[in-house]
Amino acid sequence: MPTIGWFEILIVVAIAIVVLGPKDFPLMLKKAGSWIGTAKRYINDIQNEVSNIDIEDEKIEKVEKDNKKDE
């Protein structure tokens, strides 16, 4: 998998400044940061839900085992 170095990032930033203009570039960075933050929160929420489901499944299995032992 190819790696992205500082030089490639610098080229992308320079092209973005030329295409968007120096006035709109900070606004684009703010929007991109907002989108990335939203995506990270969404993924984190999904991971938490999956973890909660696993914990609940383990609790249910434990209760079922305890019930079988009591019978």
Instruction: Render pLDDT for 11-56 as a digit per residue (tens, 0 to 9).
Output: 999 999 999 998 999 999 999 999 999 999 999 999 999 888 888 8
Residue 69 is inside which H or E element, if any? helix 25-70
pLDDT the model gives residue 37: 96
- 3-state SS class at 4: coil
Per DSSP, the three-state class of 23 is coil
For position 70, what pLDDT does the model report? 64
Per the structure block, which two tokens stand in for 36?
């990335």
pLDDT band at 1 (very low <50, low <70, confident <90, very high): low
pLDDT value of position 4: 83
Place of tokens 């939203």: 38
CA–CA dist 22, 1 (Å, integer): 32
- What's the pLDDT score for residue 68? 72
